[in-house]
Amino acid sequence: MIEPTESESKAELDRFCEAMISIYGEIRAIETGEADRQDNVLKRAPHTAQDLLAESWDRSYSRESAAFPAPWTREHKYWPPVGRIDNVYGDRNLFCTCVPMEAAEADDR
């Protein structure tokens, strides 16, 4: 569930809605067979500037659709620093990065 706060402007809410509609369109393209089920803009997202500027492009969709999935991204583009690393591994295999208890106890002394 998504619940925007009162501090979001109408323009930002409209931009969010456009993004959701665009993502739905990408999903429908996969469902209808217009986009490949394995090699598509959703599965391979996010697309870094390095990916898009590489000499070779071995994907079944255009660089333009990868770089600018919605019209407003041409003016307000966020370039992610990294692509997808391990898909959902980190979401499904949680691990603690906290300091071990022994180290924390030693700091208290």
What confidence score (pLDDT) does residue 86 get? 67
95 assigned to some structural domain: yes
55 assigned to some structural domain: yes
Q: How many domains is the chain partitioned into structurally?
A: 1
Task: Give the confidence band of 84 by pLDDT, cuts at 50, 70, 90.
Answer: confident
**DSSP letters along 5-74, please?**
-TTS-HHHHHHHHHHHHHHHHHHHHHHTTSS-SSSSTTTT----HHHHHSS---SSS-HHHHH-SSGGGG
Question: What would the pLDDT profile of 35-64 be if each residue is shown by its tens digit?
Answer: 999 999 998 888 999 989 999 999 999 999
Domain around 67: 10-108
15 assigned to some structural domain: yes
